[in-house]
């Protein structure tokens, strides 16, 4: 039972995949009308439960019915609400309806549910149900329909979307011309990719999956093993925590991380990255910084071994001290605050056969060297760009539309794991698998928060050097959850990077419910 719920909640599909899964169900004998009845009945019950919680049981309901089966779902919902005593009215912007949708419309009319224009509906209802389009949207919304969508958005009514906010592209999350802004989206059966794409974030409102019992066998038959897209659930993230620690552990068994960060100009970066790493529970932490930063770091991170490096005349790391025993590190994380002229440092690190994270100026220097430098790497490389850094590294790939395809392409091009930061951070692996973080907070859009992630990820990677794809999912989820908790306690304005580091342990203690792990 629990197993099914966990598995379903981590699957992410495209429109094409959803249609193929649905077709298998129909081919096996499930009548289309029966499935619609089941799905829409579940949604109607969830809506009524939600309105009870919100104190909206006497709300007047306006239902927007589109031409396809999304409209059919909306009609079943409208009928159920009407039968339960809700005051319901329907608007149908397009005359032509698919046969099943037409049949539900006919029955709805026979029950006396009023059919009105949008102009009449809007002033007379409190809540709107959006059943205009679902995953069948095939072209931009235009003309009179576009005007109606804008009227809906301007009406400020509470909108509950069925499957997706109408006008949102199911795979990319793009607004196709115009889209309805939902307050609540009930995604049907499996998570559609749009629910985890940045482009749709402002249109989705609160999102909820309505599991209607799709057989796991049908999902597996369609998705197979390769090119899968996963939502990073709490369970997936917790599975990557290096807990429980072995009872007979010692510090060198919990990984040794080398951070390479900081410069005279960005001295604080080294501290924030170090504090992020500290929260990971890493056994040993070494931090290579320009020599003059050592006195600054020791009081902040007394447990760390500080490696003072020769400096450039601008106070950046010029080179690593010689000799440096690279073999003792299980992971290296480089970039925060190192400055733009650190190409020799990056070139050296690329030769080291140890899992390597590059972030911030580590990425900008890599862009100057060229991503072809990654080809010869014998250990995993993890790149953690924001959209600007991503564009410098991959000028041919647009990171702002379909972020799933963007990270997949970048990862396959370089052989590196590529994490594209955003409201819904996307992580691509060279196998084609993509991982998406479902929840975050704009409070994290702030200088230094990425440094904390780099440290945290480095610390986890040092403990899981053979499982970089697990470490990066856990770090991404953990960092975002710490931001959410910090924003709850301190308001979104109080989530500076330093305080964020203090919430990393708290979030594990509170949210992971790890018991005695």
For 101-177, strand residue ranges (E) read 127-131, 158-162
The stretch among 135-143, 344-352, 358-366, 410-418 that binds ligand LP7C6HRI (CB under 6 A) is 135-143
Of K ion, ligand LP7C6HRI, none, which one sits near residue 469, judging by CB under 5 to 8 A according to partner kind? Answer: none
User: For residue 211, which of 1, 433, 424 has the smallest C-alpha distance?
Assistant: 1
Of K ion, ligand LP7C6HRI, none, which one sits near residue 135, judging by CB under 5 to 8 A according to partner kind? Answer: ligand LP7C6HRI
Rounded distance between C-alpha atoms, residue 187 and residue 195, angstroms: 8
400-404 own/partner pairs: CB under 8 Å, 24+ apart:
400/198, 400/199, 401/172, 401/174, 401/199, 402/171, 402/172, 402/173, 402/174, 402/197, 403/197, 403/198, 404/171, 404/172, 404/193, 404/196, 404/197, 404/229, 404/434, 404/436
Q: 368 near 392, Cβ under 8 Å?
A: no
Per CB under 6 A, 139 contacts ligand LP7C6HRI: yes
Per CB under 5 A, 130 contacts K ion: yes
- Binding-site member from 108, 165, 173, 189 for ligand LP7C6HRI (CB under 6 A): 189
Return the SS3 of 390.
helix
Instruction: Give the DSSP letter of residue 374.
Output: G
Rounded distance between C-alpha atoms, residue 79 and residue 70, angstroms: 14
Q: How far is CA 426 from CA 38, 155, 205, 380, 445, in A?
A: 33, 33, 19, 18, 16
Identify the bridge partners of residue 60 per DSSP, sorted by sequence position. 87
Does the annotation list 422 as a binding residue? yes
Q: Among residues 209 and 270, whose Cβ is nearest to K ion?
A: 209
- Binding-site member from 62, 68, 108, 281 for ligand LP7C6HRI (CB under 6 A): 68
> Under rule CB under 5 A, how many of the chain's residues touch K ion?
5
Q: 304 near 251, Cβ under 8 Å?
A: no
Binding residues for ligand LP7C6HRI restricted to 1-30, rule: CB under 6 A: 18, 22
Does the annotation list 135 as a binding residue? yes
x/- track of binding to K ion for residues 470-509 (CB under 5 A): ----------------------------------------
Rounded distance between C-alpha atoms, residue 498 and residue 448, angstroms: 8
Q: Is the peptide bond before 278 cis (omega within 30 degrees of 0)?
A: no
Per CB under 5 A, 162 contacts K ion: yes
49 alpha carbon, distance to own chain's centre? 27
Minimal distance in Å, beta carbon 345 to ligand LP7C6HRI? 51
What is the number of H-type helices and E-type strands within the chain? 19, 18
Per CB under 6 A, 141 contacts ligand LP7C6HRI: yes
The stretch among 68-76, 214-222, 275-283, 340-348 that binds K ion (CB under 5 A) is 68-76
Binding residues for K ion restricted to 288-317, rule: CB under 5 A: none
Does the annotation list 403 as a binding residue? no
Q: 175 near 149, Cβ under 8 Å?
A: no
Q: Among residues 43 and 261, whose Cβ is nearest to ligand LP7C6HRI?
A: 43
User: For residue 166, which of 148, 156, 177, 180 has the smallest C-alpha distance?
Assistant: 180
Tell the residue number behind the tokens 């953690």, with chain if given. 384
Q: Among residues 99 and 248, whose Cβ is nearest to ligand LP7C6HRI?
A: 99
10 Å Cβ neighbour count for 146?
15
Of K ion, ligand LP7C6HRI, none, which one sits near residue 67, judging by CB under 5 to 8 A according to partner kind? Answer: ligand LP7C6HRI
Per CB under 6 A, 186 contacts ligand LP7C6HRI: no
Return the SS3 of 60.
strand
Q: Among residues 194 and 288, whose Cβ is nearest to ligand LP7C6HRI?
A: 194
Rounded distance between C-alpha atoms, residue 326 and residue 508, angstroms: 31
- Binding-site member from 9, 14, 92, 166 for K ion (CB under 5 A): 166
Per CB under 6 A, 73 contacts ligand LP7C6HRI: yes
- Binding-site member from 41, 136, 205, 344 for ligand LP7C6HRI (CB under 6 A): 136
The stretch among 62-70, 299-307, 387-395, 450-458 that binds K ion (CB under 5 A) is 62-70
Rounded distance between C-alpha atoms, residue 383 and residue 359, angstroms: 6
- Binding-site member from 9, 61, 81, 133 for ligand LP7C6HRI (CB under 6 A): 133
Per CB under 6 A, 70 contacts ligand LP7C6HRI: yes
User: For residue 432, which of 417, 421, 442 has the smallest C-alpha distance?
Assistant: 417
Of ligand LP7C6HRI, K ion, none, which one sits near residue 161, judging by CB under 5 to 8 A according to partner kind? Answer: K ion
Binding residues for ligand LP7C6HRI restricted to 146-165, rule: CB under 6 A: 162-163
> Under rule CB under 6 A, how many of the chain's residues touch ligand LP7C6HRI?
26
x/- track of binding to ligand LP7C6HRI for residues 478-507 (CB under 6 A): ------------------------------
Of K ion, ligand LP7C6HRI, none, which one sits near residue 276, judging by CB under 5 to 8 A according to partner kind? Answer: none
Edge-first strand order for the sheet with 206-210 is 87-91, 60-65, 127-131, 158-162, 184-188, 206-210
- Binding-site member from 44, 47, 69, 385 for ligand LP7C6HRI (CB under 6 A): 69
Which segments are annotated as binding site for K(+)? 70, 130, 166
Q: Which residues bind K ion (CB under 5 A)?
A: 70, 130, 161-162, 166
Q: Which residues bind ligand LP7C6HRI (CB under 6 A)?
A: 18, 22, 35-36, 39, 66-73, 98, 133-139, 141, 162-163, 188-189
């Amino acid at each position: 039972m629990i197993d099914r719920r966990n598995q379903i909640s981590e699957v992410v599909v495209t429109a094409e995949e959803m249609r193929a899964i649905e077709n298998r169900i129909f081919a096996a004998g499930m009548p289309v009308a029966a499935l619609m009845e089941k799905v829409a009945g579940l949604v109607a019950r969830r809506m009524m439960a939600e309105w009870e919680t919100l104190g909206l049981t006497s709300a007047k309901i306006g239902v927007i019915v589109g031409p396809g089966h999304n409209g059919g779902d909306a009609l079943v919902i409208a009928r159920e609400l009407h039968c339960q005593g809700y005051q319901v009215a329907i608007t149908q912007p397009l005359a032509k309806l698919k046969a099943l949708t037409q049949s539900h419309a006919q029955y709805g009319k026979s029950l006396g549910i009023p059919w009105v224009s949008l102009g009449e509906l809007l002033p007379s209802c409190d809540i709107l149900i959006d059943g205009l389009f679902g995953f069948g949207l095939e072209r931009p919304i235009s003309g009179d329909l576009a005007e109606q969508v804008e009227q809906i958005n301007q009406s400020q009514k509470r909108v509950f979307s069925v499957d997706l906010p109408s006008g949102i592209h199911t795979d990319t999350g793009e607004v196709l011309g115009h889209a309805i802004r939902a307050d609540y989206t009930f995604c049907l059966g499996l998570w559609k990719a749009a629910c985890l794409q940045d482009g749709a974030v402002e249109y989705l409102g609160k999102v909820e999956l309505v599991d209607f019992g799709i057989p796991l066998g049908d999902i597996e038959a369609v998705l197979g093993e390769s090119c899968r897209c996963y939502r990073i659930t709490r369970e997936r993230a917790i599975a990557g925590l290096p807990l429980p620690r072995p009872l007979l552990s010692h510090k060198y068994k919990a990984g040794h991380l080398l951070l390479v960060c900081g410069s005279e100009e960005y001295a604080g970066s080294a501290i924030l990255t170090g504090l992020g790493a500290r929260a990971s529970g890493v056994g040993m932490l070494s931090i290579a910084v320009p020599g003059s930063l050592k006195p600054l770091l020791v009081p902040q991170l007394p447990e760390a071994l500080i490696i003072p490096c020769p400096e450039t005349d601008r106070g950046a790391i010029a080179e690593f001290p010689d000799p440096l025993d690279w073999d003792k590190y299980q992971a290296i994380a480089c970039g925060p605050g190192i400055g733009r002229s650190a190409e020799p440092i990056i070139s050296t690190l690329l030769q080291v056969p140890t899992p390597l994270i590059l972030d911030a100026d580590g990425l900008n220097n890599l862009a100057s060297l060229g991503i072809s430098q990654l080809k010869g790497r014998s250990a995993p490389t993890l790149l953690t760009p924001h959209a600007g850094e991503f564009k410098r590294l991959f000028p041919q790939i647009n990171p702002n539309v379909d972020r799933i395809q963007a990270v997949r392409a970048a990862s396959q091009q370089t052989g590196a794991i590529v994490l594209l930061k955003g409201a819904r951070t996307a992580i691509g692996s060279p196998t084609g698998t993509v991982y998406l973080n479902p929840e975050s907070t704009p409070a994290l859009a702030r200088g230094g928060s990425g440094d904390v992630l780099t440290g945290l990820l480095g610390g986890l990677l040092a403990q899981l050097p053979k499982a970089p794809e697990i470490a990066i999912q856990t770090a991404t989820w953990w960092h975002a959850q710490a931001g959410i908790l910090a924003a709850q306690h301190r308001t979104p304005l109080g989530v500076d990077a330093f305080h964020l580091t203090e919430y990393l342990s708290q979030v594990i203690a509170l949210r992971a419910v790890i018991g005695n792990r």
